[in-house]
């Protein structure tokens, strides 16, 4: 797609647009400096997966994202590498921005003829983009991992039972909040819900009491 002033937005997913009607598109500028195009389209009903006559219960956790009732375990996505890189660039960004603010204030106090603005310094902006790049990589890889895992589960089982956890309440525990956010229980549940609806499978939310036992 060619967009005025931006040029071409390329994709390898043009095959999914066959037999569809594009209703709307939205262009988004990410903090990394990249532009993304989001399409809203009407599509035909997806093909249903073949039935397997299998049922499974899922207990979500921190170290292992999903522990199945048949003993299988799927680990949580490990984002420690990208988090470490993002933390390093966050420190650089904060330090550079603070120094730039001091220079801008100094110019203002000295009443120089051509005072520099905050946006005229590019060093802190580069650090900001580098930090956003590593954060985006972690988010994209986590989403990809969850998509592959949920699709695998929906293909394998006709009925999936999962505990009805209140993630927002659990994140009030400051010792586990970061681990729970990294595990992305809510996104995992949402993906299972709409994929079960798409492909003719059934998802049951049960009371979390005694599910781990």
- Closest by CA position to 179, among listed 67, 60, 61, 62: 62
**pLDDT computed for residue 39 by the predictor:** 86
**pLDDT computed for residue 206 by the predictor:** 86
Residue 176 near residue 170, CB atoms below 8 Å: yes
**pLDDT tens readout for residues 100-149:** 999 989 888 888 778 888 888 899 999 999 999 999 998 999 999 999 99
Rounded CA-CA distance 86/89 in Å is 5
Side-chain half-sphere of 160: how many Cα atoms within 13 Å?
Answer: 31
Rounded CA-CA distance 87/17 in Å is 39
**pLDDT tens readout for residues 80-107:** 899 899 999 999 999 999 999 999 898 8
Which residue has 């937005």 as its token pair?
Answer: 9
Convert 193-209 to b/e letters by CB count within 10 Å (16 or more is b).
eebbeeeebebeeeeee
Q: Predicted confidence band at 163 (pLDDT cuts at 50, 70, 90)?
A: confident
Residue 19 near residue 11, CB atoms below 8 Å: no
Per domain, the residue ranges of the chain are: 1-44, 46-206
DSSP 21-44: EEEEEEEEE-TTS-EEEEEEEE-P
**pLDDT tens readout for residues 180-207:** 555 588 889 899 999 999 888 999 988 7
Residue 171 near residue 177, CB atoms below 8 Å: yes
**pLDDT computed for residue 213 by the predictor:** 65
- Token code pair at residue 104: 């801008």
């Amino acid at each position: 797609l060619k967009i005025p002033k931006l040029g071409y937005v390329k994709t390898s997913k043009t095959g999914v647009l066959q037999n569809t009607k594009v209703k709307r598109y939205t262009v988004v500028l990410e903090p990394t400096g990249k532009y993304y195009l989001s399409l809203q389209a009407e599509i035909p009903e997806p093909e249903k997966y073949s039935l397997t006559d299998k049922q499974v219960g899922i207990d979500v956790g921190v170290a292992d994202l999903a522990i199945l009732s048949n003993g299988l375990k799927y680990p949580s996505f490990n984002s420690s590498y990208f988090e470490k890189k993002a933390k390093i660039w966050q420190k650089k960004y904060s330090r550079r921005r603070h120094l730039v603010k001091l220079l801008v204030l100094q110019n203002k106090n000295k009443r120089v003829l051509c005072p520099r603005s905050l946006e005229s310094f590019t060093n802190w902006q580069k650090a900001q983009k580098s930090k956003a790049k590593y954060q985006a990589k972690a988010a994209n890889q986590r989403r990809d991992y969850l998509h592959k895992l949920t699709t695998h589960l929906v293909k394998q089982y006709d009925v999936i039972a999962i505990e009805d956890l209140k993630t927002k309440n659990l994140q009030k525990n400051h010792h586990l909040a970061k681990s729970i956010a990294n595990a992305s229980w809510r996104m995992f549940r949402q993906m299972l819900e709409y994929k079960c609806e798409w492909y003719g499978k059934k998802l049951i939310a049960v009371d979390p009491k005694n599910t781990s036992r």
